């Protein structure tokens, strides 16, 4: 697991809440994406992306995401979540987010996101800002 | 149940989501308060209370709430939720929110809230605005 | 929108809760998948798939899902959600779930799911049961 | 804050998720109760209360809870949550749960719960088991 984690630029730990489990007795499928969202926000802040969702600077919009469920987690456990950029396109970033079970020391889910830079004042998509690219490269 | 419902000024129906159930196989305790929150917002709008949470007009803050759990709901079912004011104090409203199971035609939970008028520009509590009192009386 | 909806075998409506919105002032990205989950469960029940998650009969596991976000919804609104099978493979079903804004009469998100039949007693994947295929064809 | 925390028997830390904030830009009122629930489960396990929700031994039911909201938390922050028993009645426990903002080093919310021992096989309330009382006294 440590080897797998080493490629992620931001790694955070989130405890599983009892209420994260659904009536199938596993962490509900949505919760993995909640963790991914929190870790993604930390990643954006480290890169220097504005996450106020109201400024003239480009902010991130989630255009698409997926999630592959590999191992069902349960409470009590802790999710170890890592995020990295896997592709830079003209008008979007593709992120990868991996979720590991700390208790079982194995991957539990893997998720990808398409992040679109958006001007929240002009209300339109913009090209990938060079500040984002520099931020990713510096990290 | 109809008799009990008749005293509530705003009544709404919300389907139970499968994911609202937790690993004890019942609707999780928090979800009743989610329903109460949605119905309360509708009630505020009917009274004419500003719910933008950013204007100079007094907006509502939840200062306290409780919930008595009477009957455990499950999916599939529909929550029938009613809200009314039970007390007007100098600087707050006390609301009562009742939650019924449509399937079982019985009360499932009852919750009370203390709602404090707040000036979101000056960032301080204010006395109960006369517009709120009039709105409640008109409803 | 009616034309688009007509191809879905199960269609349900879910009101947007105020608390479904996040601090970007839109319905949070996870909520679309919550709606999809509820509608999928209804679809399974209509087909005759066992959703107890504990019997010897094959039950459904979500192996993968994605979601394309097209139009950001807000409270108050109602989600109209439709589910259908778009592909039957040897050991899984591919479902499509479409989410429409009732207020704006337009599609808001589209999601696909890979559903794996699983024997919850033997704890292993099984081939697509013929009862599932018949159920889908009858619907 | 350290002084205040010292009286709680179980103390845990939970990071605030970005998605825990609602459109009023604060942690949603329900989330404080989610944290309380997780910490309460840890407390039950430390006392030796069966939390399987299906055994013949008495399990806990939440009969009532309240929450006083004192200071609005935001992401990023970490909740420090403490639980203790404040009253033992013939047929129930009264717990107190305090939630602190780690960033602001101050109390954010305080919640009480009424916990009823329940026989999940006979499906009826039972008196406070002496094992629970001993567990609380030992802790």
Residue range A83-120, pLDDT digits in tens: 999 999 999 999 999 999 999 999 999 999 999 999 88
- Multiple choice CATH, B2-125, 3.60.10.10, 3.40.50.2000, 3.40.50.150, 3.10.129.10: 3.10.129.10
Q: Is the separation of the CB atoms in D62 and B29 below 8 Å?
A: yes
Backbone angles phi, psi at D15, to 5 degrees: -65, 145
Sign (positive/negative) of CA torsion B28, B32, B37, B38?
positive
Please enumerate residues of D whose Cβ is less than 8 A from a Cβ of B: 23-25, 29-30, 33-34, 37, 53, 61-69
Q: What is the mean pLDDT of residues C84-105?
A: 97
For residue A33, what are its two tokens? 């994406």
Comparing alpha-carbon positions, the chain A residue that sits nearest to D33 is A19
For residue D66, what are its two tokens? 């309240």
Q: Is D66 in Cβ contact with B64 (below 8 Å)?
A: yes
Mean pLDDT, consecutive 10-residue segments, chain B of 139 residues?
91 98 96 98 94 80 97 97 97 98 98 94 90 94
- Is residue D113 within a helix (H) or strand (E), and if so which, with residue range? strand D106-119
Comparing alpha-carbon positions, the chain D residue that sits nearest to B35 is D30
Contacts of A among chains (3+ CB pairs under 8 A): B, C, D
Residue B77 burial (CB count, 10 A): 17
Comparing alpha-carbon positions, the chain B residue that sits nearest to D109 is B64
Q: What is the mean pLDDT of residues C44-59?
A: 85
Q: What pLDDT is attached to residue A57? A: 78
Q: What is the mean pLDDT of residues A40-58?
A: 87
Q: Which residues of A touch D19 (CB under 8 A)?
A: 34, 37-38
Question: Angle CA(C47)–CA(C52)–CA(C56) in degrees, nearest 5?
Answer: 90
Q: Is B22 in Cβ contact with A18 (below 8 Å)?
A: yes
Q: Which residues of B touch D40 (CB under 8 A)?
A: none
What are the DSSP calls for C72-113, one per residue? ---SS-EEEEEEEEEEEETTEEEEEEEEEETTTTEEEEEEEE
Beta bridge partners of residue C84, listed in sequence order: C96
Superfamily of domain C2-126: Hotdog Thioesterase (3.10.129.10)
β-strand pairing of C92-101 with C78-89: antiparallel
Give D42's pLDDT tier (boundaries 50, 70, 90).
very high
Q: Which CATH class is domain D2-122?
A: alpha beta
Please give the model's pTM, rounded to 2 decimal places: 0.96
What is the residue extent of each domain of chain C? 2-126
Q: What pLDDT is attached to residue A95? A: 98
Mean pLDDT value across chain A: 94
Q: Decide if pLDDT at C108 tops 90.
A: yes
Q: What is the ipTM of this complex?
A: 0.95
d(CA D31, CA B30): 8
d(CA B14, CA A10): 39
Sign (positive/negative) of CA torsion B2, B5, B11, B15?
negative
By Cβ distance, the residue of B13, B41, B76 closest to C18 is: B41
Q: Decide if pLDDT at D54 tops 80.
A: no
| Higher-confidence position of C119 and C64 | C64
Give A52's pLDDT tier (boundaries 50, 70, 90).
confident
Percent of all residues in chain B with a pLDDT value above 70, rounded to a whole number: 99
The pLDDT tens digits of the residues spanning D86-134 come to: 999 999 999 999 999 999 999 999 999 999 999 888 889 999 999 999 9
Mean pLDDT value across chain B: 94
Q: What is the mean pLDDT of residues D44-56?
A: 85
Percent of all residues in chain D with a pLDDT value above 90, rounded to a whole number: 83
Interface probe for C, chosen from B16, B36, B38 (most Cβ of C below 10 Å), is: B38
């Amino acid at each position: 697991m440590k080897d797998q984690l080493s490629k992620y630029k931001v790694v955070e730990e989130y405890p599983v809440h009892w209420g994260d489990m659904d009536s199938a007795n596993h962490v509900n499928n949505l919760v993995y994406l909640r963790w991914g969202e929190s870790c993604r926000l930390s990643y954006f802040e480290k890169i220097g992306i504005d996450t106020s969702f109201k400024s003239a600077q480009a902010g991130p919009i989630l255009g698409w995401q997926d999630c592959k469920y590999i191992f069902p987690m349960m409470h009590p456990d802790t999710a170890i979540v890592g995020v990295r950029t896997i592709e830079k396109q003209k008008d979007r970033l593709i992120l990868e987010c991996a979720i590991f079970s700390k208790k079982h020391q194995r991957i539990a889910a893997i998720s990808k996101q398409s992040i679109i830079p958006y001007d929240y004042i002009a209300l339109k998509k913009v090209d990938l800002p060079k500040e984002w690219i520099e931020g990713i490269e510096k990290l």
